[in-house]
Every structure is written in C-alpha cells, then in structure tokens.
Amino acid sequence: MPEFPTVSLGGKRVTRLIVGGNPFRGNSHRSEAMSRDMEAYFTVERIKQTLSACERAGINTVQARGDVLILACIREYWAEGGTMHFIVQTASELRDLLGHVRRLAAFGALGVYVHGTYTDRHYLDGDMRGVVDLAKAIRDTGVAVGVGTHIPEVIAMSEEHGWDVDFYMACLYNINRERRESALVSGQAGDEDHRFDHNDRFAMLETIRQTPKTCLAFKVLGASRLCDTPDQVRDALRIAYEGIKPQDACVVGMFPKYRDQITENVGFVREILAGLEIDPPAARSAG
C-alpha cells in the first residue's frame, strides 16, 4: 500500500489525516449519552489500541489535549513501540498555563496549540493578549506553535496583526458565537445540536484558503452529525479536502465501537486525495 500523503509541520511530515482525541476523553459535542458512551469505551488500553490501529492504517499523527490521562496514554503508547507524532492542545483548566506548555514541549510534542475555546473566549471579550502571550510561551519552547479557533475572524485577525504562529487548528463549525466553556473544562456535558450549522463549513474553508499558514481542519464530520451513512461521511470528507489547501490536513476523531471507522475514514481519504491529485478543484473550475 502506498504511503499516506503528508504535509510539513514542525520540521516533520504529518499525514493529511490526523486522528483526533475528543472521543478519547468522552467529549462528543453531540449529547451527554454519546459522551458517556465514549468515556466508558475508551479505557487506557482501548486508547492505545486505537492509536496502534490508526498507525497500522497509515496515519502518523494524533491530536489530543494535554491532560494527565492523555499524556499517560501517549507515554505508554510510545513506550510500547508506537511512533505517531503528537500535536497537543493546551488544557485551559490549568492555572499555570505557561508552565504547562513547557511540560508539553519537554514531553515530546511536535506542536502545541492554544485551546480553541480559550482563544475564542478572549476574542469575544475583546482582549487577545492572553492568547498572544501563550503562543509566545509555546514559541519559546522550540516546538511548532498553533492557535485553535472556531471563529474565522480570529484567523483573519492573526494574519492582519502578524502573530508568530506556525499553524491554525480551524474548526469548520462556529460553536462559539457566544461565550462558552469546553465541557471538559466546565465538567458539564450536554446536547449541543443547536450550535452546529453545516453552512459554517464554507466560511471557515474560505478563511483557511486565504492564509498561507498550514491549517488543521477539525470537526469535518460535524461531531458525528454527518456520519449516518458511509456516503455521508465520504461527502463531508470530500468537501473538507476540496476546501483546504494542499499543505493542510484534517483532524478526525475515531470511535470504532460500532463500526470500523478507522478503515472507513482512511479508505475514503485515500480515495479523495488520489482524485484531487488527478483533478484538483482549481483545474475543474478553470476548465
């Protein structure tokens, strides 16, 4: 089987499909029932098994939050021979975030990024100094620097002001139109259906195309809302990959309890990327 297509990030090659860590922590962004189902399924052993299965399928990078549980899982996974790169979200519930990013860099992260809801809360409050300072602290550690957001205007602001970042974690759904806190930070899970508008995807994809920096698009499947059938999954992945730049990647959470999402997603993405190499969207529009 040919190697999975990759892009450059932090001096390494990362696959254009990255496994996301929200399911590992029971953070479904769908319903309390689904979150509890994920939390019960993903023991430490199952998290490691899922990472190993993703690696066997050709994925070489995982993105997850830098909390105690995830760090323990990654540490064990690496100790047992796993080799995937680790892109880490700051755990914004911690008080000492500056010390936190230093610990994440020393842990072996390829890149660290400012938690998207933390970023967006500062944006909605009209004061981005905390985000800029945290990004600078990440830069000082020597790892790749990222900023996460669910709001396209945040990326536009960063570009306008020349923030010193290497990549953006860009959510295709703006679930932060109003000030909110992550369920993992607040400890209050709930149904968030009302926050998801599938039309949001196109505004963020346009923003992603406007920045020369690498973007990692996430929630490309609408936090499972576009997973009812294989055709729906394929179509959502196609929209995402056609909308991002060739130097970008997508982050997709995997929850293989009910069907083999790893094999399914990898197969669809390989098919989509092979098609884009032959017939890229720009070529089709030019024709």
Instruction: Answer whether 0.75 is exceeded by the pTM.
Output: yes
Q: Mean pLDDT across the stretch 255-269?
A: 96
Q: What is the DSSP string of the chain?
A: -PPPPEEEETTEEEESEEEESGGGGT--SS-HHHHHHHHHH--HHHHHHHHHHHHHTT--EEEEE-SHHHHHHHHHHHHTT---EEEEE--TT-S-HHHHHHHHHHHT-SEEEE-HHHHHHHHHHT--HHHHHHHHHHHHHTSEEEEEES-HHHHHHHHHHT---SEEEEESS---SS----HHHH------GGG--TTHHHHHHHHHHH-SSEEEEE-TTTTTTT-SSHHHHHHHHHHHHHHS-TT-EEEEE--TTSS-HHHHHHHHHHHHHHHHHHS-HHHHHH-
pLDDT in tens, 201-253: 999 999 999 999 999 999 999 999 999 999 999 999 999 999 999 999 999 99
Averaged pLDDT score across all residues of the chain: 91
CB 54 within 8 A of CB 84: yes
CB 89 within 8 A of CB 119: no
Q: Is the pLDDT of residue 287 over 60?
A: no
In whole angstroms, give the CA distance from residue 116 to residue 170: 8
Give the count of alpha carbons within 13 A of 26, CB side only: 20
pLDDT in tens, 45-94: 999 999 999 999 999 999 999 999 999 999 999 999 999 999 999 998 88
Residue 60 sits at the vertex; the CA angle it makes with 115 and 246, to the nearest 5 degrees, is: 75
In whole angstroms, give the CA distance from residue 266 to residue 261: 8
Q: Is the pLDDT of residue 178 over 70?
A: no
Residue 120 in tokens: 């967006």
CB 18 within 8 A of CB 6: no
The sign of the torsion formed by the CA atoms of 156, 198, 222, 180 equals positive
Q: Mean pLDDT across the stretch 82-111?
A: 95
Nearest CA-CA partner of 250 in 172, 181, 187: 172
Give the count of alpha carbons within 13 A of 209, CB side only: 13
Set out the domains of the chain in order of their start, with CATH numbers: 6-286 (3.20.20.70)
pLDDT in tens, 180-202: 455 544 445 444 545 789 999 99
Q: What is the pLDDT of residue 176?
A: 84
